A and B are shown apart, each in its own frame.
Chain A
Amino acid sequence: MQERAGTADKPFVQESKKEHVSGVRPVEDGQEKSTPLFGGIRIQESMTIGRPAAALYAYWRDFTNLPRFCKQLRDVTIIDSLRSRWTVNGPGDKPLTWEAELIEDIPEEFISWRSVEKAEFENAGSVRFRPAPADRGTEVQLIMTYNPPGGPLGSLIAKLTAKEPAVLLREQLRRFKQLMETGEIATTDGQPAVIKS
């Protein structure tokens, strides 16, 4: 799915059932549990994962785990309780880095984050964990918003998302599911190949 995000005048609003965790900066009224906004592109995917919400939340909440299943992420380091530094492969495979801040953190339920001011790639995301019916695990909804940059970075993003930005997002979610359900991510990288004579 792809749609325009809300705007500052009409934010994308959803209800919150729980109070904020202390230490996390509150957000403006009406933006609780919504994805932090960057006015350009908004993509969203959902997948059901056969693990309790608590386990999925705990793994995701440690942002240093994200590069394990998010192919584009090279590294995430923690700066303090709210801030972290994210690095991806930028144009020409050079590292592109930005600082992100935690926006909302509702244990076992919801996490959101966004790049801080002056990031070259302005982006934000949220992940929601909602119990599935009966014993079917947890419905995980991942939302990303970003401002498409210009220049070489814009070209790279356009190339990565050539088919459909949501496909890329879905692959992150699929690898997260594989890792959480099986302990590994399905791969054929490094399997037998014909030896050229």
Chain B
Amino acid sequence: MRATCWYGKQDMRSETASDPRLLNPRDAIVRVTLTAICGSDLHLYNGKIPTLEKGDILGHEFMGEVMEACRGVKNLIPGDRVVIPFHISCGNCFFCKQELFSLCDNSNPNAALGETMYGHGNAAAFGYTHMYGGYAGGQAEFVRVPFADTGALKIPSGIPDEKVLFLSDIFPTGFMAADNCHIQPGDTVAVWGCGPVGQFAIKSAYLLGAERVIAIDNVPERLAMAKEKAGAEVLNHEKMNVRDALDELTGGRGPDACIDAVGMEGHGDGLLGAYDAVKTAVLLEMDRPYALRQAIQACRSGGTVSVPGVYGGFIDKFPFGAIFAKALTIKAGQTHVHKYMKRLLQYVLDGKIDPSFVISHRLTLADAPTAYKEFNDKEADWIKVVMRPN
């Protein structure tokens, strides 16, 4: 099969790989019909995350058709259309039973690496380093899906792939960010970062009843999308003092909730993805919590700071005094995709949202190496890339 493989820093290749086969009782094989490049894949592309190996197949946002399901998968049959969550979860462990699916105890063969780094391990993900399990990813023609009985979301016929693909990661990630804000009637939510996750956080905040959403970025094209497609008021942080502007827009109260959809590489230049792995701790660099610090300072007393943006290591000058003085609630973590998929699919079927609005480029799998390069080099135009197998 054709597969998109990592060979080193800025060296992606479209290669021929062996087809997947069933390895465990709860596996299924999915023929990919649509896949995407995530902002977080650019960290892999740029060689910033350890524990990748030459030839690893990347990709964690994909959907397709069930080709084969092993005996432990009772709820799927060949021909079912499915969207697959980016992380792999067993559905049986302590965490899965509490719907904390991205903390699954049982999917990651390399959980020991996370235990060393953070004290406890994390769930595996498709195509996202060996620390996250080393599973072959979804930028390929076929994928082996472990625990398919728990993860795969069946999609009814008649709705195009582009409207449901993002249920795999970025839509639930933006939604969980907003859900974590416990939005009340009249609330104003501020969102730092207008990449795809930021766009979905804006949309989700409205779906959950926010009165106003204010979006912050410095890329005019992304701010334009936030304004025109997602319906936010927008602030370009290069052209104004964001703190002053937020105070002015909220009558001096500050936003009731603040979402940091930028993450560890934040220096005001846009969204860097939905989730990420440990870069800093291993490379001995510091995370740059520009957006996070500003969000904490801006947030009103008793408000919530929600962090879908990814942090991997240690941060300096973290304003914990402000968190204490203002009695803030901080929410963070990888998205529990399985928890939200069904609800969000219903929103799509009901016409409350069409997630395809973030797509800027439509290519084929063979174009993947070019797509990575362009996506990395031209953040203004290249917001979201989707790829068909041919």
Chain A residues packing against B (C-beta within 8 Å): 48, 50, 136-137, 167, 170-171, 174, 177-178, 181-195, 197
Contacts and interface: CB of A to CB of B under 8 A. Distances in A.
9 contacts: A50-B97, A171-B112, A178-B90, A184-B26, A186-B24, A188-B133, A190-B23, A191-B23, A191-B144
Contact of B136 (A167, A191, A195): A191
A55 to B, nearest CB: 13
Give the residue among A48, A167, A192 with the most B Cβ atoms within 10 A. A192
Interface stretch (B102-110, B233-241, B293-301, B336-344): B102-110
B73 to A, nearest CB: 11
Given A192-B1, A192-B3, A192-B142, A50 B93 contact: yes
A26 to B, nearest CB: 37
Contact of B24 (A50, A136, A174, A184): A184
Interface in B97-139: 97, 105-109, 111-112, 124, 133-136
Contacts, number: 87
A190 B21 contact: yes
Nearest to A197: B16
Contacts of B15: 194-195
A138 to B, nearest CB: 12
Contacts of B106: 177-178, 181-182, 186
B292 to A, nearest CB: 33
B136 A182 contact: no
Interface in B39-88: 55, 57, 72
Contact of B23 (A137, A187, A194): A187
Contact of A191 (B16, B20, B105, B107): B20
B109 A188 contact: yes
B26 A186 contact: no
Given A50-B92, A137-B94, A182-B92, A195 B72 contact: no
B147 to A, nearest CB: 7
B80 to A, nearest CB: 21
Contacts of A185: 24
A154 B181 CA distance: 57
B24 A195 contact: no
B363 interface: no
Given A190-B23, A194-B55, A182 B18 contact: no
Contacts of A50: 92-94, 97
Tell me if A's interface is mostly helix, strand, loop or mixed: loop
Nearest to A170: B112
Contacts of B133: 186, 188
Contacts of B135: 188, 191
Nearest to A175: B109
A185 B19 CA distance: 21
B146 interface: yes
Contacts of A177: 105-106
Given A181-B92, A181-B105, A192 B146 contact: no
A187 B110 CA distance: 9
Given A191-B23, A192-B18, A192-B136, A186 B92 contact: no
Contact of B72 (A178, A184, A197): A184
A137 B97 CA distance: 13
B3 A186 contact: no
A153 to B, nearest CB: 25
B136 A181 contact: no
A189 B23 contact: yes
A188 B24 contact: no
B140 to A, nearest CB: 7
B69 to A, nearest CB: 14
Contact of A181 (B3, B24, B93, B112): B93
A48 to B, nearest CB: 7
B26 A182 contact: yes
Contacts of B144: 191-192
A195 B90 CA distance: 30
